């Protein structure tokens, strides 16, 4: 199921996209009541999910998608997003010149960093480039997953049971600020630097770990093209390592990193400017489209 958060008549709903993609069906109409997507993700049982899916088939109610305003599936994450950095080989190679030789070659250990997201930007809304302080604005198409139950000392082979679902994130980055400080936190965390959506696809829709094409177009030009099977460190690895000694709380969002082809990797670099249209697509999830303000 493709879960969505949306506004109708100024009221916030959680719902499901109808199978034809034309309607937004509130979860409550399918017999499931949670206050928001985070509480649904961490509380819903597999039986409830199956029941929802059954009711959705053939259900003709809900709102036309054209009548609602989509929000990010999890508009207000309650924890910093955990991100993997430089987790594709081609992105590692293109990062060497800008970030240093330690990012290339064999990558034995993943890079983990946190990204503050006060409010995730919905598909269709503008990205604030903060051009008063940012000179090197960049895009990063990524697949992210949501943890459904507290994970502590999880073995990789059991990782699937901790994954609630998948969404698309654009890990918007201010390279000038990311590189200036020794930690990436600030350059990744400005208001509006986390476009997310358009939906959250429940984990049962994909094999595990998912093998999905991931692309990014800027102004219609293909910049990034890869597949989530090509992570240097995959979801089972990351969940096993992250949960080793630290509880990864239910509701945590983990973003798995971006392929090669970011603006920073071009010679000369091709950073974003006002008016640029960014389309991040992950097979089976959808397309996250935002224009730089
Ligand atoms: Mg990233």
Residue 140 Cα to ligand 1 middle (Å): 6
Residue 171 Cα to ligand 1 middle (Å): 5
Residue ranges of domains in the chain, CATH in brackets: 2-71 (no CATH), 81-291 (3.90.850.10)
What pLDDT, on a 0 to 100 scale, did the predictor assign at position 213?
98
First to last CA, the chain: 32
| Local confidence band at 182 (pLDDT 50, 70, 90 cut-offs) | confident
What pLDDT, on a 0 to 100 scale, did the predictor assign at position 94?
87
Coil, strand or helix at 14: strand
| Six token digits for residue 54 | 């059954």
Instruction: Give the number of other Cβ atoms within 10 Å of residue 219's Cβ.
Output: 13
Prior bond of 209 cis (ω within 30°): yes
Residue 170 Cα to ligand 1 middle (Å): 8
pLDDT (mean) for 208-235: 98
Q: What is the mean pLDDT of the chain?
A: 96
Quick check: 126 pLDDT over 80?
A: yes
Residue 83 Cα to ligand 1 middle (Å): 6
Quick check: 96 pLDDT over 90?
A: no
Residues with CB under 5 A from ligand 1 (ion): 140, 171, 258
pLDDT (mean) for 233-243: 98
Residue 13 Cα to ligand 1 middle (Å): 29
Residue 258 Cα to ligand 1 middle (Å): 5
Q: Which residue has the tokens 């198409």?
A: 141
| Local confidence band at 111 (pLDDT 50, 70, 90 cut-offs) | very high
**Percent above pLDDT 70 for the chain:** 100
Coil, strand or helix at 140: coil
Coil, strand or helix at 144: strand
Residue 288 Cα to ligand 1 middle (Å): 15
What pLDDT, on a 0 to 100 scale, did the predictor assign at position 24?
98
Q: How far apart are CA 123 and CA 95, in angstroms?
A: 28
Residue 93 Cα to ligand 1 middle (Å): 15
Quick check: 104 pLDDT over 80?
A: no
| Local confidence band at 98 (pLDDT 50, 70, 90 cut-offs) | confident
Residue 11 Cα to ligand 1 middle (Å): 32
């Amino acid at each position: 199921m493709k879960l969505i958060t949306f506004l109708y008549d100024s009221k916030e709903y959680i719902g499901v996209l109808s199978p034809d993609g034309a309607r937004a069906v509130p979860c409550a109409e399918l017999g499931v009541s949670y206050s928001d997507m985070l509480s649904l993700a961490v509380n819903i049982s597999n039986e409830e999910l199956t029941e929802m899916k059954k009711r959705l088939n053939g259900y003709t109610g809900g709102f036309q998608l054209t009548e609602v305003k989509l929000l990010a599936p999890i508009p207000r994450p309650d924890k910093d997003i955990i991100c993997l950095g430089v987790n594709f080989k081609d992105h590692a190679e293109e990062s060497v010149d800008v970030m240093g030789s330690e990012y290339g070659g064999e990558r034995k250990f993943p890079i983990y960093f946190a990204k503050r997201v006060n409010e995730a930007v919905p598909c269709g809304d503008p990205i604030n480039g903060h051009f008063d302080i940012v000179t090197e604005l960049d895009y990063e198409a990524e697949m992210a997953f949501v943890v459904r139950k507290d994970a502590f000392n999880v073995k990789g082979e059991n990782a699937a049971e901790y994954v609630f679902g998948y969404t698309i994130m654009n890990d918007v980055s201010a390279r000038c600020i990311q590189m200036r400080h020794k930690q990436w936190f600030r350059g990744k965390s400005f208001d509006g630097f986390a476009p997310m959506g358009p939906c959250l696809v429940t984990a049962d829709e994909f094999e595990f770990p998912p093998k999905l094409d991931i692309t990014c177009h800027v102004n219609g030009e293909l910049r990034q093209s890869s597949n989530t099977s090509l992570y240097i460190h995959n979801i089972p690895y990351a969940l096993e390592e992250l949960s080793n000694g630290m509880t990864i709380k239910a509701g945590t969002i983990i973003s798995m990193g971006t392929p090669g082809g970011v603006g920073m990797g071009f010679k000369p670099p091709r950073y974003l400017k006002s008016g640029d249209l960014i389309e991040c697509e992950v097979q089976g999830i959808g397309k996250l489209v935002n224009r730089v303000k």
